Structure 1
Amino acid sequence: MRGLAAAACTALVAMLAAGCAATVRGTGDLGVVVERAAGRLQIVETTGMTRLATVEGLGDLSHASVVFSRDARYAYVFGRDGGLTRVDLLGARITHRVLQAGNSIGGAISQDGRVVAAQNYAPGGIRLFDAQTLAPLADLPAIGSDGRRAKVVGLADLPGRRFAASLFESGEIWIIDASDPRQPQVTRLPAGREPYDGLVTPDGRWYLAGLFGEDGLALVDLWQAPPLARRILSGYGRGNAPLPVYKMPHLRGWAMAQGMAWLPAIGRHEVLVADPANGWREAARVALAGQPVFAMARPDGRQVWVNFAFPHNDTVQIIDTATRQVVRTLRPCRGVLHMEFTPKGEALWLSCRDDNRVEVYDTATLERLATLPADNPSGIFFTARAQRFGM
């Protein structure tokens, strides 16, 4: 033990002598802000609400998403140009980058942190990579039961080194067992017309896919063997003409609060509240100012924050989940694209694309705490996601 302590002290002294003390930090309060037009990431920290560094050279980030390694040191960035980039958050540098497709919109990382999966529009499919080196492991073309190649959406990690994904054109959900990532096994399930996004519940039991081609969602019980898909919330818009859809709702920014699922309704100015304990039946609806894009729950479940598609994309509404009422409407800026809670939810960060800034709000007082400059910011992702399924 004395030898180990001495070695540790020697290493620390060497670092201090080299002027590296400022880089000795944990990663638990770190995150990234995507600067979409510049192909750049800001690395930020939530405790002091400051920018630490920027990382250039990430390609087309017009629809970028990020997942994190299990130790929260590395960010995996999926770009619209098919780029997959591994970024060292502590070193503020790119460690690996591959152009793995023509058009990619996101990805996931396996439960054990060893496999990164990319979901692709062009060519439609899912590709698996080694998380350390980004070496390719497997390529799964998204060819549905109808023989057509499809766009892949809603890719999420599941317990047991599995992934779930949805195929838009062919209306299927795939459950992918990546226990052997060089020979993954696929289970195909019918989903419904045009699944456009998907999510997995925090306990890893349920996978839900929203349907663009019909009112309703597809639900898979992942504890059932073999898993089966069924329809829930069918016909939620029955009797009403659908409203124009200016931007697809994002189920990945969904909310689980007060034991209920809070889901943005496509073609409606509402959030649907579904009760998992009652067969995922509709329990309530909350009328909103516009078409919801993200409906995100504060970590304690007391609030759901909602942003909107054009022309209401300058607005954010806050729902009190105890009363199921909108308690505050904010108009923070133009082009609110994304929101992210700090790990314990005392603050919320939101991106203001058209005003070139990020704003931070106190979730108790609903007052603005800080403003950070950013070049056309979009996605905000904090490292706390590394410890949750489906993020």
Structure 2
Amino acid sequence: MRRLLAIVLSLAFASCVAAGLRGSGDLGVVVERANGSLLVVEHSGNSRLAEVKGLGDLSHASVVFSRDERYAYVFGRDGGLTKVDILEGRIVKRVMQSGNSIGGAISQDGRLVAVSNYEPGGVRVFDADTLEMVADIPAEYAPGKFSKTVGLVDAPGNRFVFSLYDGDQIWLVDMNDPRKPRVTRFRDIGRAPYDALITPDGRYYIAGLFGEDSMALLDLWHPEKGVRKILGGYLAHDDKLPVYKMPHLEGWAVAGDRAFVPAVGQHKVLVINTDSWQQEAEIKVHGQPVFVMARPDSRQVWVNFAHPDNDTVQVIDAESLRVIKTLVPGRAVLHMEFTPRGERL
């Protein structure tokens, strides 16, 4: 009788535990920048699960996720780095690591979180479990001169890559020994790199240059070949318009062998062949594009725009290179994100 009771109690306990468990594959987060909070949502039933408050200045926040997708690392504009448990809807740890930061990345093995800082200029690297700082990499490009760092990405082989806005450089950092980073510096890559991206295969790092009509490309398979310019003079034949918001290069869309690129200060999206890195077409759009996002199946590319056209989103067919739909979903569209299989935006 006791044995039967023990079995029944064990089954009841297991049932309770199972009922309280869920995966993280259909979870997402929304940054509520005006409130300094993070909203946890799920897209199977389109519901809000939790609101995590106390994350500081989120006016230019970004988020990366742990390998198991349980934790979100939130990078605040005030220099705050916050680790959030999205299953439990709570802050695990929060550190103020600088005075002004602009984004971050997590290493390939998931052990390190790097933060890109404006003030003090440089990159700081933290243990992903404890948020203990393991490396401080000041962006000193000349004696006593420190640069804002931008375009921080993680690269294969537990490396980070970032650009020095004031120093006209790209730095490649090997973090396989976290306490002893190995930094490779690429100088004179072009004027004022303002943002960057890494291609989905992890091979190419591309920095946009605010100071000239070209971009800087680093082949991470062959870094010994250095940085080369691509798309030189791509705006030479256009009337330059006031730039209301700099486009984000991490918002590039790579679909097949084409990259769809927002043109700085122009009402168009450039189409780049990723084999030759030459422009092959341009698409006229509603305004100055900010984010150009590929649907996960690469069949469509969605574009949002800078003020005063930021109420509009356009959809481009990736095969015909035509705008096939124009949407006005609200007063201002700031960011876009697809669900993993692309059925919703």
State the 1:328 CA deviation. 0.7
Match 1:45 to one of 42, 45, 60: 42
SS in 2 for 1:252: helix
Tell me which residue corresponds to 1:384: none
Distance 1:227 1:40 in 2: 44
Superposition deviation, residue 160 in structure 1: 0.2
Q: Deviation digits for residues 43-94 of structure 1, max 9, x if unmatched? A: 0011111111110110100110000000000000000010000000111000
Match runs of 1:109-258 below 5 Å: 109-145=106-142, 148-190=145-187, 191-258=189-256
Q: Could you tell me how far 1:242 is from its partner in structure 2?
A: 1.3
Q: For residue 233 of structure 2, give the secondary structure of its aligned residue in structure 1.
A: coil
Matched to 1:80, the amino acid is R
Change (3 A) 1:227 1:43: farther
Q: Between the two proteins, what is the percent identity of the paired residues?
A: 61
After superposition, residues 286-325 of structure 1 pair within 5 angstroms as 286-325=283-322
| CA–CA distance in structure 1, aligned partners of residues 50 and 19 of structure 2 | 13
Determine if contact 1:341/1:347 at 8 Å carries over to the other structure.
yes
Q: Distance in 1 between matches of 2:260 and 2:218?
A: 17
1:332 correspondence with 2:332: no
Q: Which residue number in structure 2 is paired with residue 367 of structure 1?
A: none
Task: After TM superposition, give the deviation of residue 37 of structure 1 in Å.
Answer: 0.8
Give the Cα–Cα distance (whole angstroms) in 1 for the partners of residues 293 and 180 of structure 2. Answer: 36
Q: Is the 8 A contact 1:154 1:198 kept in 2?
A: yes
Change (3 A) 1:146 1:192: farther
Contact conserved, 1:258 with 1:322, CA < 8 A, in 2? no
Residues 1:269 and 1:147: Cα distance change in structure 2 (over 3 Å): farther
Structure showing greater Rg = 2
Measured in 2, the distance between the counterparts of 1:214 and 1:104 equals 25
Q: 1:100 to 1:328 in 2, by over 3 A?
A: same
SS at the partner of 1:59? coil
Residue 257 of structure 2 corresponds to which residue in structure 1? 259
Q: State the TM-score, normalized to the length of structure 1.
A: 0.84
> Is 1:14 matched with 2:22?
no
Higher relative contact order (CA 8 A, sep 6+): 1
Give the equivalent residue in structure 1 for 2:3.
none
> Which amino acid letter does the alignment assign opposite residue 263 of structure 1?
V
Cα distance between partner residues in 1 of 2:41 and 2:232: 41
SS at 2:140's partner residue?
coil
Gaps of 5+ in 1: 1-5, 349-391
Residue 265 of structure 1: CA displacement? Answer: 1.1
Residues 206-261 of structure 1 show CA distances to partners (whole Å, capped at 9, x for unaligned) of 00011111111110000004251100001111032311111110111110013101
In 1, Cα distance between equivalents of 2:15 and 2:294: 42
- What is the aligned partner in structure 1 of residue 85 from structure 2? 88
The TM-score with structure 2 as length reference comes to: 0.95
- Matched with 2:56 is 59
Q: What RMSD, in angstroms, separates the aligned Cα atoms of the two structures?
A: 1.7
For 2:35, give the aligned amino acid. A
Q: Give the number of equivalent residue pairs.
A: 338
Alignment-mate amino acid for residue 192 of structure 1: G
8 Å Cα contact 1:34-1:61 kept in structure 2: yes
Q: Give the C-alpha shift of residue 146 in structure 1.
A: 7.1
Amino acid at match of 2:243: V
What residue is the counterpart of 1:355 in the other structure?
A: none
After the TM superposition, which parts of structure 1 deviate over 4 Å for at least 4 consecutive aligned residues? none
* Distance in 2 between residues matched to 1:148 and 1:22, nearest whole Å: 57
Q: 1:140-189 CA distances to partner (integer Å, 9 max, x unpaired)?
A: 11111475211111000000000110110111111010111111111111
Q: Deviations over 1:89-135 (max 9, x none)?
A: 11100001000000111100000000000001111110000000000
